[in-house]
Structures are given as structure tokens and as C-alpha cells.
Chains A and B, each alone.
Chain A
Amino acid sequence: MTIKVLTADGASVASFAVPSIGIGTPTWTPDGKAVIVMNLQIFRPIRIEVADPTRRTPVAPLDWDGITIRDNGTFAVRFDKPGVWQIDNGIRLISGKYPAAFSPQLAFRGEDVLIPEFNASGGPRILAQPVAGGPDRVLAYAPGAQAEEGTS
């Protein structure tokens, strides 16, 4: 599997092989200097420097995936159970509602992380969960939204 980094005009910046992608990845580091993917050979997410793709550094312990580094923290999901966590200062569960093994990248809107709720009684909807904690709220209804096969 290959990751290609291009300019907006399509010029090649970098191209390098990765062993796997993972769920919720690849993501960029905030400084734009590295991408994060899941290395399924060691079950740890790794940071790959775009300027020197041979430099690869684990960025989280075993089993964390979907690593998303933002100015206000590092966020992650897991393969084995639903939820979204902040993991940069201890490990804090933000919400247990985020679907397990949901492959798209985490979506943030302001200070909220968005949680798809596919099986709500009134139809699929999107919840806004403050990353700081507290109750979620219904942000939007999403007719036709569906979990991918295998997503709980």
C-alpha cells in the first residue's frame, strides 16, 4: 500500500509504502509534517515524517487507532469496542457511543466531535459530543446514512 502526498496542483511531494492504514487514518499532524497510520504488524499507530518517510515513530500504545492530533488534544478510537477517547493526558473516555471499527476519520466541528448514530429510533442522526465532556446533543438527522458492514 502506498501513500502519495501531492500539492494542490498535483505535483508529487512524497510517496512511500505503508504496511496498513487502519481505521480513522491516515491523519495529518497539526504541523503538516507527518502522517499517522496504523501499523497492523505491531498494532500500534505510527507517525511517518513526510520529509523522511524512513523515520517512523509509534504515537500511541497497542490497539489505539484513528489517532487525530489537534491543538486541544490527541483523540483516538479502538478496534475492540465502541467509543472515542482523549489519550494525550491520561486516557479519558469522551463518549461510548462512537461506533466500533467505523473506518472514516474522526470528524470535529468546533469543540465537538461528531458521532453517527445509525440505529436511532427516529432514523439515523449525527450527535455532537463536546470533547470536554458533558451530554451530547442531536446535531442533525441523516436520512440514508448507514454503518458499513461489520460496524456496531
Chain B
Amino acid sequence: MSKMAVNPKTGDIIYVASVLRDTNIDLLTLTRH
């Protein structure tokens, strides 16, 4: 489950990632966007 929350002061978002489901969770994935 990917819970997420927002820092009310900075707007930063945190979420829970599953590295078992997405082993490509790395800079390459983000760079593609």
C-alpha cells in the first residue's frame, strides 16, 4: 500500500514505494518523465 502525506509547511510529498514490485525505482524511471 502506498500511503502518502504532505508536509503542510513545505508541500513536500512522501509516499511508500514497493521496491519488490518496481525494481526499477531509480533515477532512470524519474528521468524518463
Name A residues whose Cβ lies closer than 8 Å to a Cβ of B: 103-105, 107-110, 114, 116, 118, 122-124, 126, 139-148, 151
Q: Which of A105, A109, A145 contacts B11 (CB 8 A)?
A: A109
How many Å from the CB of A53 to the closest CB on chain B? Answer: 26
- With both beta carbons as reference points, the residue of chain B lying nearest to A104 in the complex is identified as B3
How far is it, in angstroms, between the C-alpha of A146 and the C-alpha of B1 when the chains are bound?
6
How far is it, in angstroms, between the C-alpha of A141 and the C-alpha of B32 when the chains are bound?
10
Chain B count of residues within 8 A CB distance of the other chain: 22
For chain B, what secondary structure do more than half of its interface residues adopt (helix, strand, loop), or is it mixed?
loop
- With both beta carbons as reference points, the residue of chain A lying nearest to B2 in the complex is identified as A145
How far is it, in angstroms, between the C-alpha of A105 and the C-alpha of B11 when the chains are bound?
16
- With both beta carbons as reference points, the residue of chain A lying nearest to B3 in the complex is identified as A104
Contact with A along B1-26 (1 / 0, CB 8 A): 11111100001010111110110111
Given A104-B4, A108-B6, A114-B4, verify A143-B22 contact (CB < 8 Å): yes
How many Å from the CB of A128 to the closest CB on chain B? Answer: 10
How far is it, in angstroms, between the C-alpha of A145 and the C-alpha of B32 when the chains are bound?
16
- With both beta carbons as reference points, the residue of chain A lying nearest to B24 in the complex is identified as A143
How far is it, in angstroms, between the C-alpha of A108 and the C-alpha of B6 when the chains are bound?
7
**A143 near B29 (CB under 8 angstroms)?**
yes
- Please indicate the chain A residues that have their CB under 8 angstroms from the CB of B32 in the complex: 122
How far is it, in angstroms, between the C-alpha of A42 and the C-alpha of B33 when the chains are bound?
45
How far is it, in angstroms, between the C-alpha of A104 and the C-alpha of B1 when the chains are bound?
9
How many Å from the CB of A47 to the closest CB on chain B? Answer: 22
How many Å from the CB of A22 to the closest CB on chain B? Answer: 15
Given A103-B1, A107-B6, A122-B33, verify A145-B16 contact (CB < 8 Å): yes
